[in-house]
Amino acid sequence: MTEALLDGPSRPAASGTTRQLIVLLHGLGADGNDLIGLAEPLAEYLPDTAFVAPDAPFACDMAPVGRQWFSLQEATPTALLAGARAAAGALDGFLDAQLQTRRLGDGSLAMIGFSQGGMMALHVGLRRAVPCASICGFSTLLVGAETLAEEIRARPPVLLVHGEMDPVVPFAAMGAAAEALAANEVPVAVLARPGLAHGIDPPGLGACLKHLGKAFGIEIPTE
C-alpha cells in the first residue's frame, strides 16, 4: 500500500496562498465527497488553508457502495487495532506526499476525522514522528488505547465531539478516549452534543473551527 493509491476530492486555499492543510477522513461506507463539503464553512475563516478528503483504500464490505479504512465485520478491540495498523501506512504516506506537494511541515497540518476516519486520524496522528497541529474527531473512538503508551510519538491537541444519542459509536467512547489520551499526556478537550445521533452538527463544527484556529494561531471571531 502506498500513498499513490489514495486520492480524493480537494479544495485549494481560498486566498490562493496555502499556509495550512486540513485532511478530512470519512467514515465507513462513504468516500471523500462525504466530508469535502466541510471545507466551505471552514474556509471562510481559514482562507490560507487547503483541504483534501482522500477516499479510504478499500471497498466497503458491509454495503454495495462506499469505501472503508478497514473492515468492521469483527469489531473487537484486537480486530480494530489490526485494521487501523494495516491502513496506517497508506494514510501516513498520503499525509507526507500532500505536505511535500505544498511545501508544508507537520505543524501546518490538521486532521478532521468522522467515525472510522476519526479512528484513523488518532491512530496515525499520535504515531507520527512530528506532531501535527491538531486532530478533531467526531463520533469516534480511540483504537488501541492499551498499546498507546508504548507506541505514542506525538501529542497534538485533540478535540473529541460526540452525539449523546449516537447509535453507532457509543457516546461513552468519547470519555474513554479522553481518559486514555490524558493518561498519555495528550492535550484533549471534549464536547458532548445533546440529542445528536451519529453525525456532525453546526455547534460541533464551530467548536472544531475554534480548535483549529487556536492550533494554527488564527483568531476566530466569536459570533
- The catalytic residues are 115, 166, 198
Q: Where are the beta strands (DSSP E) in 29-127?
A: 49-52, 58-59, 67-68, 109-114
CA distance 204 to 191: 7
Q: Are 117 and 26 in contact (CB under 8 A)?
A: yes
CA distance 90 to 103: 20
CA distance 139 to 136: 10
What number of other Cβ atoms are within 10 A of residue 45's Cβ? 16
Q: Are 173 and 140 in contact (CB under 8 A)?
A: yes
> Nearest-CA neighbor of 114 among 94, 140, 92?
140
CA distance 82 to 190: 26
Q: Give the rounded distance of the alpha carbon of 196 from its chain centre.
A: 19
